[in-house]
Structure 1
């Protein structure tokens, strides 16, 4: 990959979770969530983005979402299960991304709302076509994802430096 190519960041919200009598962190995916996670994985595969790294919340529903989605990709990236992604604010997520090694060009973060939606909105200084309008109209539902591009080192990632290039969510 040439130095001139931008970094790509995919912010992927976990799929629909069930509500059994367990702690929030241990909530599993609902049946619909399992289906949507696989569909999201196929859509991610269609983007052609060769992910170098996945950062996944340690919550059960995010780990299950990623397991189903990554199965659809042609290349399985290195996955780091990061406790700090669970219930993180956009600022906390930026701090996690700022620590990434610069040889990671294409990163997917599997997390939770409202942090994931807030981060997409905060990072996107600009957007292509109607991506921002579609993202904000839908409210970033479960199994949705946003694709952003960014030129610069990870430690320089901050509000308004990225471009929102795509947004997708399963139909309800």
Structure 2
């Protein structure tokens, strides 16, 4: 079994209108939510073989805070093409860069992550699928499992939704 983990960046700061979209940092809520998700990952045993992160400041900062809060030292690759990537580009990045992995975490953006999760999933808990269909908020984590030994051969509509976690629901993290 192979697992693809998707983590949308936490809430970003819009206070400085002079910054480019790529350079926006996290706001206070985003900082807290990223740490909350890192503690949740530690509790759940999330252990990617590789992390592929967008080069956008808010994605990089989310990953840094997740790793610090969870005490992780994961191998990280920064991928410019993940910034604002669409579903097909995201799947291509997974196959190309994480194809040899059993578990990979991508840190990036909507609408690409939401669309990718929807298109990859075939089955799973109906309540989780309904929640995923409805909305993919900032800081949200999805775990999609495939009947493949590695991520190189993942296909659309073949995954099982195992987790759909939002920061606001991680009250004990």
- Alpha-carbon deviations, 1:67-101, whole Å to 9, x = none? 00011334421000001110100110000011135
Contact 2:103 2:151 in 1 (8 A): no
In the alignment, which residue of structure 2 is the partner of 1:109? Answer: 106
Report the more deviating stretch, 74-83 or 33-42. Answer: 74-83
**Separation in 2, partners of 1:119, 1:125:** 12
Contact 1:145 1:168 in 2 (8 A): yes
- Alpha-carbon deviations, 1:93-136, whole Å to 9, x = none? 00001113554211110000000111110100111252111222
CA change 1:101–1:58 in 2 (3 A) is closer
Contact 1:49 1:106 in 2 (8 A): no
Q: CA RMSD in A?
A: 1.5
Secondary structure of the 2:11 match is: coil
Structure number having the greater helix percentage: 2
Secondary structure of the 1:132 match is: helix
2:8 is equivalent to residue 8 of structure 1: no
State which of 129, 132, 138 in structure 2 corresponds to 1:142.
Answer: 138
Structure 2's unaligned 5+ residue stretches are none
Q: Which runs of at least 4 in structure 1 moved beyond 3 Å after TM superposition?
A: 100-103
**Separation in 2, partners of 1:102, 1:26:** 29
- Alpha-carbon deviations, 1:26-82, whole Å to 9, x = none? 011011100000001111112212221100000000000000001133442100000
Secondary structure of the 2:130 match is: helix
Structure 1's unaligned 5+ residue stretches are 1-5
Contact 1:124 1:161 in 2 (8 A): yes
State which of 66, 69, 76 in structure 2 corresponds to 1:69.
Answer: 66
Secondary structure of the 1:99 match is: helix
Contact 1:99 1:154 in 2 (8 A): no
Number of equivalenced pairs? 166
Contact 1:57 1:110 in 2 (8 A): yes
Question: Scaled by the length of structure 1, what TM-score is found?
Answer: 0.91
**Separation in 2, partners of 1:34, 1:73:** 14
**Separation in 1, partners of 2:141, 2:78:** 18
Contact 2:100 2:151 in 1 (8 A): no
